[in-house]
Structure 1
Amino acid sequence: MSAADMSGSVPRWLLLDVPGAPAAARRLQEQFAETRSVALFEGTEFHELREQGPLLVDLQHSPALTSLCHLDAGSWPGLLLVSASPAAQLLAHLRRMLTVTLGLHHKALLNYYNPHTASYFFDGCDPGELSCWLGPISLLRWFGGTWADRAIGSQGWQQLSNPGLTVARLENEHSLSDRQQRQLQQCLLERHAWQWSRSIGRDYRLLWSDLQQGLKLGFTERPVLDDWLWLRLQYPHARPVPELIGASQRERLDYLRQLWQNNQG
């Protein structure tokens, strides 16, 4: 798909997901040395990681790079931004988006610049929240989708317009809604299932079904959930019992393992 095929305004900025594609920063320096870019982590609490963090790339005088972002999105992953605001204002907003609050006491880095994360996070925003999070950004585009989309080969171009509702400015360490947190948790789970399916060559949909079954059995701790997936691979046709005995998740999984081993014998 070419830039001309995309509806709406021509993007002014690329928020390049360097953490997701480390080679992209090197390609930028080698192929577009004159193109202006700013490290998003510069001057933030993540300053020490600035060279490994995302870059805000000015596309205004680089039509060749703009075209590549559409023609070879896999090599230039990230978010394409349309904004009429001054660069300093946009940059300040993007940096405010980095740190979020989960619940009352937990703080986290939000890697919204990753196309997969964006596909979950922004889908968890209502129009008011979207107006707040996009702020000076009028249009947002990226090539990607969910991890499930990637697993079945159905990624594509995503586009979001700022609803433009009158809302309060995005706060520092903005609090995430319950829906946004659920979306991000779904992102982590589906990524885990995708990584498993890739590493062992199992169909993603079957692996996701196994993972969901493990969660329903109460195996929410990551090491225990992983061991459950291994156990399910060893006993694909065994049926879990309604009640598992044990004080901890590990003990309940061990109980189930012993039960299945004895039934096999």
Structure 2
Amino acid sequence: MRRRRKGSMSELLPASRTEDVEPNHALPCWLVVDRYPETLERIYQLEPSPQLAYLFHETKYASLEEYSPLVVRIERGSALWHAYSQQQDTAVSQGVLIMSEETEQAVLKHLRQRLELHFYGYRKALFRFYDPCIAGVFFSADSTIDRWLGPLERVVWFGGTWVQIAEHGKRWYSCVGQPHQQRTEEQYKDEEPYKLSPSQEKAMENFVLVQAVWRKWTKQNRARESSEENITYFAQRVLAAMRLEPPPEHLQKVLEIFLTLTPGKWLAGVSELPAVNRLQEIERRAENTSQSKTRSFTV
């Protein structure tokens, strides 16, 4: 199902297979992949003569080039393509696909310009758009992103946001921009840092808060982050927390409560309270529910 964004020509396209998020005509494609200790070696095992570049090269992050994500030209049907599309090889699966009619030089220039973004006024940050988790949050936010895409026609990743995983499980997503022939000259020449929209700022802030709880929960419970069971369990709790729309400063606490006490009928009516009062009511009900369960075990 395609989802057209408000005020934008871009679309978000989910699918169960990589084939279903590809365009009808084959576009030149690059894999932008986060760099782990084994990533470069694995790429050379899959592609004896890879056409690759370092994303941080000729940017303000050039001094960190040994940690730089890699941009690799990838051909459909190749060993690297299959390794990425199967999502079983962690050395090369933590990345996104970039598709464009433009030259590699133009694509690299644009991606390097998009390494930095502005948020909350003039605060700046390195934007790890090549991380599938971050890509899912950024491209799924309801806002205009054609300016970020520029000459890129499609960005593809696997996974989804926590809410998307809770509702549909992990799957492929594609952010589809304007066709090559419909782009304006301004989109190609835009070199200004990208500024997050309010909806993107909110989505990214929630992501950071939730990820902190995820790391804490997996560490305390010695839970494997790669476990589909753990991911599904956590995603369902995130979905329950998000549906109550707590203020950002209350989100982590609500999520932590839901990780110890399964959301259910005991939450009836909470969503009707003012947002700032929901956490206090959740804490009160959670304590009463826990005490009730304790008494039932001791009778």
Above 0.5 in TM-score?
Answer: yes
| Residue 72, structure 1, aligned to residue 102, structure 2 | no
Aligned to 1:183: 203
Is 1:207 equivalent to 2:246 in the alignment?
no
Q: Name 2:98's counterpart in structure 1.
A: 81
Distance 1:187 1:5, change over 3 A: closer
Is residue 2:46 matched to residue 1:46?
Answer: no
* Residue type of the alignment partner of 1:173: P
For residues 103-182 of structure 1, the aligned pairs below 5 Å read: 103-124=120-141, 126=143, 129-150=144-165, 153-162=169-178, 164-166=182-184, 167-168=186-187, 169-182=189-202
Asked whether the 8 Å contact 2:31–2:72 carries over to 1, the reply is yes
Contact 1:40 1:91 in 2 (8 A): yes
Structure 1 residue matching 2:107: 3-state secondary structure = helix
Judged with a 3 Å threshold, the aligned counterparts in structure 2 of structure 1 residues 154 and 224 are, in CA distance, closer, same or farther, namely: closer
TM alignment of 1:11-22, pairs within 5 A: 11-19=27-35
Point out where structure 2 has 5 or more consecutive residues left out of the alignment.
1-16, 224-228
Structure 1 residues 152-174: Cα deviation after superposition (integer angstroms, max 9, x where no partner): 63322435233545355433322
Distance 1:134 1:206 in 2: 31
- Per the alignment, in what secondary structure is the counterpart of residue 203 of structure 1? helix
Aligned length, in residue pairs:
255
Relative to structure 2, which stretch is displaced further, 99-108 or 78-87? 78-87
Using CA pairs below 8 Å that are at least 6 residues apart, which structure has the higher relative contact order? 2
The answer for unaligned runs of 5 or more in structure 1 is 244-248
Q: Percent identity?
A: 20
Kept in 1: contact 2:31–2:71 (CA 8 A)? yes
TM-score by length of 2: 0.63
C-alpha distance in 2 between matches for 1:11 and 1:66: 17
The equivalent of 1:99 in structure 2 is: 116
Query: Is residue 10 from structure 1 mapped to residue 26 from structure 2 by the alignment?
Result: yes
CA RMSD across the alignment: 4.5
Q: Report the CA distance between 1:105 and its aligned residue.
A: 2.9
Using the size of structure 1 for normalisation, the TM-score is: 0.70
Q: Are 1:16 and 1:113, in contact at CA under 8 Å, matched by a contact in 2?
A: yes
